[in-house]
Structure 1
Amino acid sequence: MNNLLEQANLIKDEIVSYRRHIHANPEVGTHLPTTTKYVMDKLTEMGYEPKEICDSGIVATIEGSKPGKTFLLRADMDALPMEESTACDFAAKNGAMHSCGHDMHTAMLLGAAKLLKQNQDKIEGTVKLVFQPDEEGFTGAKKMIEAGVLQNPKVDAAMAMHVNSGTPSNLVVCGLGTSIGGCNRFRIVVKGHGCHGAMPETGVDPINIAVHIYQAVQEIVTREIVATQPVVITFGKFAGGDAPNIIPGEVVMEGTIRTLDKAVGEQVFSRMNDIVTGTAKMFRGEAELIELSSVPPLTNDKALANEVTGYLKDIVGEQGIWLFEGGGMGSEDFASYSYEVPSLYLILGAGAKNENPEFGEPMHNTKVVFNEDVLPTGAAIHAYSAINWLKNNK
């Protein structure tokens, strides 16, 4: 087992080819037919019998020589709807882009699938490989769970890994406890009555209502939530009207609520609904708060985190692991797994500016470039974690 990283480096060219093919052919959202077929074909070539358990959701299992528990490894496959502007030879040309590294994740798990086949006699139990759609839309994990991904065989622990631009290559970052925020995506539709701008008294101004809603909602954070509880409410869309002298009939606002506590997120959404409907009524209009999607805060199981990162020192060294407590407000739909089974979510550094000027651009940026040298490390981390956890948790 000590040479698993060496084995991964021997198949680096294959893992890189997986990544580049997926990167050049990105697909967005819940339906990823080209990506799904590619991944299933590669798994089949390796000797797996992959199954599509929901639209674009793939599961493949591998059993070892001895019976035992089941460890799940998950990768996301969806891209983002943005035009790529990198100088990569394999840059996407179809108006979508893997600017969050999901192509890296899928390639690393395919690499792990090959390593697990090569070391199948060392598996004491079952490893379940999961490739899912729509992480970005927060529906993928929920659909996979509803489709039974945690059953047949029943999953005992789960792990996922995400590359990060700007973090030194091959540094493994792991939060202990709740480390990633939950997110509610919402839309507010404000309806008034359009009229000429010279005679506002003849209509009901939805822009005025929307402005008051915007201001009032921020008061939830400053006056209704304890100061030590982090909450971020962001409006990223505020749209209404087509002409400067016409009051429109409708305004649409969209945004996110982010918290580190599921109950707090529910409280904020409930109070926002009160404010939205009450404010609209006060100004003679109507308004509706609609939840577009949601994901709870992500909580790493501390015992699982400490155990697995202990194994990973064999892969990245003592100085290659950084454990921390607390969390940030980015969101990740792997969180849904963490409410069902003990789960672990790792960050793998994929290149900083001091390594290469091309590295280190922000995630979700049209110019982000990831260091492909971390791909074998990620594949080895997946396989090594699964084999060791199963061996030590019979």
Structure 2
Amino acid sequence: MTGSPSAAGADLRSDLVALRRALHAEPEVGLNLPATQAKVLAALEGLGLEITTGRGLSSVTAVLRGGPGPVVLLRSDMDGLPIVEATGLPFAAENGAMHACGHDLHMAGLVGAARLLTARRDELPGTVVFMFQPGEEGYAGGRMMIDEGVLDVAGERPIAAYAVHVDCVTPGGQAVTRPGPIMSSASALRVRVVGTGGHAAYPHHGVDPVPVAAEVILAIQSFTARRVPVSDPAVISVTRLSSDSAASNVLAGSVSLELNIRALSRETLALVRTDLPAIMVAIGEAHGCTVEVQFIDSYPVTVNDPTETAHTLALLDERYGDRVVRLPFPGMASEDFAYVLDEIPGTLVFLGVQPKDGSGGPMHSERALFDDSYLDEHAALLADLAVRRLTR
């Protein structure tokens, strides 16, 4: 296949910006995104793709068949966040939700890649699957799409999978990635410390679970600092804390905590999953309380395949030169493209889209701003990744 899709990318910019802004103005949260799905389907109309939609979620899968050859998958997420937007943009959302993680740009970028690749279908030595996924923000939509067959929709499994994630605090036009783990797993522990309750004036007549819960929280900090190796870290945060006391003069009968757990390896996660609950139970027993612990598994570690990422970095070096950043360490946020990368070798790349004046807030902020003038680059990068892999 001669040449590259890159040169055609700029011609798409105005259309992709318009699509992105329409998506931004009407975000939807979770797995059921009918309006978002309709916009994506309309944007793909007329390209001659084999399109299927999800059964249990508002996903869109589109298959582009070129000539004989392997299959490559390109992925975008679709859902917004339950955040009231405060950007002041003329196309700002007004429905209590917001595309504060850039998924509106992801959809527009993947639509652009589909248009670029469709225009060169006759030269394409293989098949490309375009995966538009709801429910990335905590709903495991990627896993649901895998369960519904997205990896087998083309008749054979992809040999590689790629995704581009924008970042509104990375300078515009920078491309950022690394081989190996790039984002952490995300799990949770739900903990209930059960005492007996009683009169606040006579705590010695009962078993007050509140100070016991305080000891548990301190033990969590010590566990992270002293039991988890610094070379393979974990971040454990207590994100919820409440008691069942309904009055200031009533001792709580129980205290509930929720922990968010981030880890970069299965080994460290297994350590946290087994040893930390045992410590909590022992603290409870020492004070006459029962401690109930429920582990909730969520997103796995996002791992970039070393071989695929070496080829990706070679392409990035060609396209971006000194704007390529090789991350020295993984980040502790999570991403459910991890489910795809658990099955298919591939790479997640971050693309900087910070506004040129540095305005706006961080990702997941009500003030997050994204420069959508890079959408043609976004689309062309995805298309280039597919072409390079099919022709390797």
Q: Partner residue of 1:389?
A: 389
| Counterpart secondary structure, 1:366 | coil
Structure 2: where are the runs of 5+ without partners? Answer: none
CA-CA distance at 1:189 after TM superposition: 2.5
| Matched AA of 2:267 | A
Deviates more, 1:92-101 or 1:5-14: 5-14
The question of whether the paired residues in 2 share the 8 Å contact of 1:43 and 1:49 is answered with no
Taking the aligned partners of 1:165 and 1:128, their CA distance within structure 2 comes to 27
The question of whether the paired residues in 1 share the 8 Å contact of 2:234 and 2:262 is answered with yes
CA-CA distance at 1:357 after TM superposition: 3.8
Q: Partner residue of 1:327?
A: 330
Q: Partner residue of 2:81?
A: 80
The question of whether the paired residues in 2 share the 8 Å contact of 1:235 and 1:255 is answered with yes
Q: Give the 5 Å matches for 1:41-120.
A: 41-53=42-54, 54-64=56-66, 66-120=67-121
Taking the aligned partners of 2:146 and 2:320, their CA distance within structure 1 comes to 34
Count of residue pairs brought into register by the alignment: 387
Q: Partner residue of 2:232?
A: 229
Structure 1 moving runs of 4+ over 4 Å = none
Q: Partner residue of 1:268?
A: 272
- TM-score scaled by structure 1? 0.92
Q: Partner residue of 1:4?
A: 5
What are the Cα deviations for residues 156-183 of structure 1, in whole angstroms up to 9, with x where unaligned? 1111111011211111111121122122
- TM-score scaled by structure 2? 0.93
The question of whether the paired residues in 1 share the 8 Å contact of 2:302 and 2:338 is answered with yes
212 and 319 in structure 1: CA distance in 2 versus 1, 3 angstrom threshold: same
Q: Give the 5 Å matches for 1:11-26.
A: 11-26=12-27
CA-CA distance at 1:86 after TM superposition: 0.5
What are the Cα deviations for residues 52-102 of structure 1, in whole angstroms up to 9, with x where unaligned? 2341222111011x2111111011111111111001111111111111111
Structure 1: where are the runs of 5+ without partners? Answer: none
The question of whether the paired residues in 1 share the 8 Å contact of 2:30 and 2:139 is answered with no
2:314 aligned to which of 303, 310, 314: 310
CA-CA distance at 1:274 after TM superposition: 1.4
Taking the aligned partners of 1:168 and 1:45, their CA distance within structure 2 comes to 35
Taking the aligned partners of 2:86 and 2:136, their CA distance within structure 1 comes to 23
Taking the aligned partners of 2:367 and 2:128, their CA distance within structure 1 comes to 35
Q: Partner residue of 2:350?
A: 347
Taking the aligned partners of 1:3 and 1:155, their CA distance within structure 2 comes to 21
What are the Cα deviations for residues 227-276 of structure 1, in whole angstroms up to 9, with x where unaligned? 32212111122122443322222322122111111121121111122123
| Counterpart secondary structure, 2:215 | helix
| Counterpart secondary structure, 1:67 | coil
Taking the aligned partners of 1:29 and 1:249, their CA distance within structure 2 comes to 34
CA-CA distance at 1:194 after TM superposition: 2.9
Q: Does 1:373 find its partner at 2:377?
A: no
CA-CA distance at 1:4 after TM superposition: 2.8
Cα RMSD after superposing both structures: 1.9
